[in-house]
Amino acid sequence: MNREPGQGKDPVKVGSFHSYTKVSKANEFDYIILYDTDMVQSWRHVNQPAFYTMDIDKKKIVSSKDQLEIPPLEYTARSQYKGPYNVTENGCLMPLKVKRHFRELVCNAIDYLTKNPKSDAIKIEHLSDSPAVKFTGKQRDGVDLDVDMAPMINVKLPFKHEFGWPKHRAQWPSQEKVQQIKDMGVNLVTSDPLYWTPSFAICEKELLVDIDEDGSCRRRSLRIMKSIRELIWCPGDEAENRYGLTSYHLKNILFFECERKPKDRHWEMELIDKRIISMCKQLLKHLSEKDLPQFFNRSMNLFESKYDQALDSAAKKNRQVFRLFSGIFIEKLQLFI
């Protein structure tokens, strides 16, 4: 298959499986497809006046005489794109159009590979508020493989002051790592049909890639937290828990704990119980307040779109887990490793 104009060389492997933090069966795989544009390393193309809106009845983007209202933490993106595909509206690159076009490309690629457009071996889901195009492949052994592929605009925007990262005088991550992440910058994904959403997925991957090179227990701690979530805090199907506590929330809890306890000696294996208890306490605090900042953008509340009832349920079960772990924590901990 021919590569799209502007498309990066190879998919970027992200998610739990590729960061070695997967705790259940290895049947979910996440990828990012980077697209280069004329908007590189500058916010000057972002949140310029935009004149389009959503036609709810036709479920399509249309031009408008009125300027689009731009909420906080949402962005529009001006572009000089003149390519063959209809992914712009009045000079703006459109998230919904980009995602629909990307889904069409995925469908065409699957048809090409399977040699059968009517094959039921691979099922592609309808678009949702996720930035990814999701599809499931059926294997001969009956195990389904779920794949998420998300188009990402590779703009490498600098971190804004209001993002609150890096935190002043923070000792974790190292200054070398901070500079590496700053060089990667902030990219944009298609979570909303009208507005671009900043993404830190590649930055998060960079934080995790060598997080335990000193033999620490940081990655293992995250795996334990995710195991507790699956077994106790949020048991059941992932689709049922999408509006409650997610594994992404726990990844951010880990990053904040690393920032609070930056020294390698804090993460020696014999101290893993203290780190888990500390993260459980921090998680309970955020659940009770219904407010969990994103590590790379402290102005964003990751719980904002979640259901209060689901968060309250996770908080209640968190208290139960904390009581369970007190005293004989190490013995109980073996259940989750």
Please name each of the domains of the chain with its CATH number. Answer: 1-210 (3.30.460.90), 215-337 (1.10.1410.40)
3-state secondary structure of 161: helix
β-bridge mates for residue 62, sequence order: 53
The secondary structure of 46-102, three-state, reads: ECCCCCEEEECCCCEEEECCCCCCCCCCCECEECCCCCCCCCEECCEECHHHHHHHH
Q: State pLDDT tens for residues 99-151.
A: 999 999 998 888 887 776 666 778 888 888 788 888 888 777 677 888 999 99
Other beta carbons within 10 angstroms of residue 262's beta carbon come to 14
Residues 6+ apart with CB under 8 A from 60: 54
Other beta carbons within 10 angstroms of residue 305's beta carbon come to 9
Q: Locate tokens 């049947």: which residue?
A: 27
Q: State pLDDT tens for residues 266-286.
A: 999 999 989 999 999 999 999
Q: State pLDDT tens for residues 281-306.
A: 999 999 999 999 999 999 999 999 99
What is the rounded distance in angstroms from the CA atom of residue 159 to the CA atom of residue 165?
Answer: 7
What is the rounded distance in angstroms from the CA atom of residue 46 to the CA atom of residue 59?
Answer: 24
